[in-house]
Chain A
Amino acid sequence: MEKLILIRFSEIHLKGQNRPYFENMLLRRIREAVSPFDGAKVTRSDSRYFVRNAGWDDAVIEKICRVFGVHSVCPAIEMEKDDFSAICRTAAEMMSSVSGSFKVRARRADKHYPTPSPEIAAKIGEAVLMANPQLHVDVHDPEHVLEVEIRDRAYLYSMIIPAAGGMPVGSNGKAYVLLSGGIDSPVAAYMTAKRGVHIDAVHFDSPPYTSARSREKVITLARILTDYCGAIRLHIVPFTEIQQQIYEKCPDRELTILMRRSMMRIAEKIAVEGRGLALVTGESVGQVASQTIESLACTNEVCTLPVIRPLICFDKAEIMELARRIGTYETSILPYEDCCTVFVPRHPATHPDAASVRKSEENVDFAALEAEAIAHSEYIDLYPGTGEDPEY
């Protein structure tokens, strides 16, 4: 008999012939997640993963709950399935600390097991009831459910902790998120990673209009994201000169849209270089002038890679709520400049005219400036679990 953590996975069961690919990817991600815990071992049976040698450690459970592709996590007891009376005894003990209504749900994955599922449930239910006078049976709307799974061995659990869901990171290619330091882009990165997409990031830095602290803030955000997304390469692109040239040579009201277009072109070049298959932004329709449908169209036309905009129809309040949940909010709202107000026009165009914007673009040698910016960009590789030194 052993206390272990039983992991149930989500959508992978929808996959046909690709299923082993997804399952192996998820196994790798779970192993990475528990790697900081000495001795913890991850194994797989037909459609469950198990973490052994870690008991029901809350920290391990929390880590696994963050792995995309995991549907739910259960602190379970594993025992030999042949001694049915021992299973009944264990079940009765497990339920001794609760009261009210209960039921037993049984699943017989091993079809050679002599007792069929309904009978297993009934027998164990009887044993639990006999040993625990504080409980009564309610099969329709029970307060407690004891789950029994008969596989290679028997597994008993009464708690199902919902996990992140989604698909294992790395199972759906790689995308590059434009990470600003604001509230939205980290959430967009999180949501895209949740669909199994590996994330790298591009940040635009404008010294001296932005400081070392604002740069550090973006690094911190990316580091928080690694807890969910796995390793992230963060590219930092010097953007000051491009902003200054746009400011001097182009109409005021088009500053923002021209800047956005330049950022998209640069991000796409970096993405293509790194074999990325898409860009990710935190844009949401109508949130600011550069995010009206017209502005989005105008920004969109400069790149050919698909642009994933997970937040496109989210309200700001919904985005903030998500940011709080994943733990990026507190960092995002730190008051360091992420883009100098000098370069934000008082009256930005909300309905930019694409032809006029293209015309303004001729005033600046974007191709040369952007190549220069990419040549001078740096990158930092961030890995999960390196955020804080626990010894410190």
Chain B
Amino acid sequence: MIYMDNSATTMPRREVTQAVARAMEETWFNPSSAYAPALNSEKALERARHTILTRLGASSAGTVVFTGGGTEGDNLAVIGACNALRRRMHHLVTTAVEHPAVRNAAAYLADSGWDCTVLPTDPFGRVFPDQVAAAVREDTALVSVMHVNNETGCVNDVAAIAEAVKKVNPVTLVHVDAVQAFLRIPIDLSRTKIDLYSASGHKIHGPKGTGFLFVRRGVRLEGVQVGGGQEMGLRSGTQNVPDIIGLECAVRCWDDAEPGRIRAIRDALQARIAQEIPDIRVNSPSDGTAAPHILNIGFAGVRAETLLHALEQKQIYVSTGSACSSKHRHVSEVLDAAGVPEPYLSGSIRFSFGAFNTQEEISATVDALKEQVTLLRRFRAR
């Protein structure tokens, strides 16, 4: 099997599954309970929080709230921030290529009366500090911009964007959806003005159903999950301690050399495809600024879905867009918004890499692509 769909989800590391299994047997006590064994659960939770904060360079800049994943963190950030500022603020800014977790949270707010500016992007899906700052108004509660686009792999300079936004309006909160970026694009949050930063566990070889939202000190959110007041009142519900331990384990296992190793695989695949298969378009930025783990390529004259299943026959797994929207039969909204032209648009495939991909997989992948693209192009719709 060659798994090149790591932006959809990743295979959990052996260390992670073992840590979770052990924690389910030993660290299952409710961290809020009063007796001694519960204290161990609480300590494990706080240690995990500390590990993540340290990795973000943010141990003194704020805290992280554990969530049930990327979507939940994005929702809590966007809706929670606007809820908290709704008396004075009426406007939010986001981009045309956000993940639905942000896009639909913004649409939900727009439906309930918020004024929402959706910024257009460059052909790779990027927005730029000046452009974002120009959209910020006196009553802008929130700017939400993703760090790495899940389909093209383009990277936004979120630190500069936060800087520019704060210059126009220091009260405006800046949220960054970092689900695709966390660990792959190192960041030091203490050196940025980013207020909210959300990520997910299962994209970094951790367990599904885990994630976190970094919240800068002093930032007030009004979340929508009420109950026992866990996680500083922002995410009520008994914490999923064993899986959070798994999330921490995944973060600890991530080596700083990993992005460089992954980028080499990505660049090698891009080079060989460009060399050996005619009539393709690289939809990801080719100037070295793309994320290390995402390569999006349009193959003219084939339908992406068919090519995906053709590769599947050879146990090579890729994606035609984000997994959440692959069930619907349409071209990628993100690539469309980013201006990818036909016939490349409907033949666009995303290869995304993780810790378990190797250089050795490149040849087999390119061979399969060459064979299948040639075959399928014989049967293009007349």
Among candidates B303, B312, B328, B382, residue contacting A335 with C-beta atoms closer than 8 Å: B328
Contact of A342 with B by CB under 8 A: yes
0/1 interface trace, chain A 180-219, chain B, CB 8 Å (1 if under):
0000000000000000000000000001111110000000
Q: Report B300 CB to chain A, min CB distance, Å.
A: 15
Chain A residues whose C-beta falls within 8 Å of the C-beta of B309 in the assembled complex: 207-211
Contact of B87 with A by CB under 8 A: no
Chain A residues whose C-beta falls within 8 Å of the C-beta of B327 in the assembled complex: 335
Contact of A346 with B by CB under 8 A: yes
Contact of B231 with A by CB under 8 A: no
B379 pairs with A244, CB closer than 8 A? yes
Chain B residues whose C-beta falls within 8 Å of the C-beta of A343 in the assembled complex: 379
With A247-B379, A342-B379, A346-B382 already in contact, the answer to whether A207 and B305 are too (CB < 8 A) is no
Interface residues of B in 303-359 (CB under 8 A from A): 303, 305-313, 327-329
Residue of A nearest to B328 (CB): A335
Contact of B217 with A by CB under 8 A: no
Contact of B380 with A by CB under 8 A: yes
Give bound CA distance, A341 to B302, whole Å.
12
Contact of A345 with B by CB under 8 A: yes
Give bound CA distance, A208 to B308, whole Å.
8
A211, A248, A343: residue with the most chain B Cβ atoms closer than 10 Å: A211
Tally the A-B contacts, defined by beta carbons under 8 Å. 41
Give bound CA distance, A208 to B381, whole Å.
15
Residues of B in contact with A, size category: 20 to 34
Interface residues of A in 303-345 (CB under 8 A from B): 335, 337, 340-343, 345
Interface size of A by CB at 8 A reads: 18
B306 pairs with A208, CB closer than 8 A? yes
Q: Report A166 CB to chain B, min CB distance, Å.
A: 37
Contact of B378 with A by CB under 8 A: yes
A207 pairs with B313, CB closer than 8 A? yes
With A208-B307, A335-B327, A340-B306 already in contact, the answer to whether A252 and B313 are too (CB < 8 A) is no
Do most interface residues of chain A lie in helix, strand or loop, or is the interface mixed?
loop
Chain B residues whose C-beta falls within 8 Å of the C-beta of A337 in the assembled complex: 305, 329
Q: Report B247 CB to chain A, min CB distance, Å.
A: 27
Give bound CA distance, A94 to B70, whole Å.
60
Give bound CA distance, A340 to B310, whole Å.
13
Chain A residues whose C-beta falls within 8 Å of the C-beta of B312 in the assembled complex: 208, 211-212
Chain B residues whose C-beta falls within 8 Å of the C-beta of A247 in the assembled complex: 379
Chain A residues whose C-beta falls within 8 Å of the C-beta of B376 in the assembled complex: 208
B378 pairs with A248, CB closer than 8 A? yes
Chain B residues whose C-beta falls within 8 Å of the C-beta of A210 in the assembled complex: 309
B382 pairs with A252, CB closer than 8 A? yes
Give bound CA distance, A335 to B328, whole Å.
7
B310 pairs with A208, CB closer than 8 A? yes
A208 pairs with B313, CB closer than 8 A? yes
A335 pairs with B329, CB closer than 8 A? yes
Give bound CA distance, A341 to B306, whole Å.
11
Chain A residues whose C-beta falls within 8 Å of the C-beta of B311 in the assembled complex: 208
Chain B residues whose C-beta falls within 8 Å of the C-beta of A341 in the assembled complex: 381
Give bound CA distance, A248 to B376, whole Å.
12
Chain B residues whose C-beta falls within 8 Å of the C-beta of A248 in the assembled complex: 378-379
Q: Report A119 CB to chain B, min CB distance, Å.
A: 67
Among candidates B306, B328, B378, B382, residue contacting A209 with C-beta atoms closer than 8 Å: B306
Residue of A nearest to B311 (CB): A208
Q: Report B19 CB to chain A, min CB distance, Å.
A: 27
Which A residues lie at the B interface, using CB under 8 A?
207-212, 244, 247-248, 252, 335, 337, 340-343, 345-346
Which B residues lie at the A interface, using CB under 8 A?
303, 305-313, 327-329, 372, 376, 378-382
5 A–B contacts, CB within 8 A, in A order: A208-B311, A252-B382, A340-B303, A341-B381, A342-B379
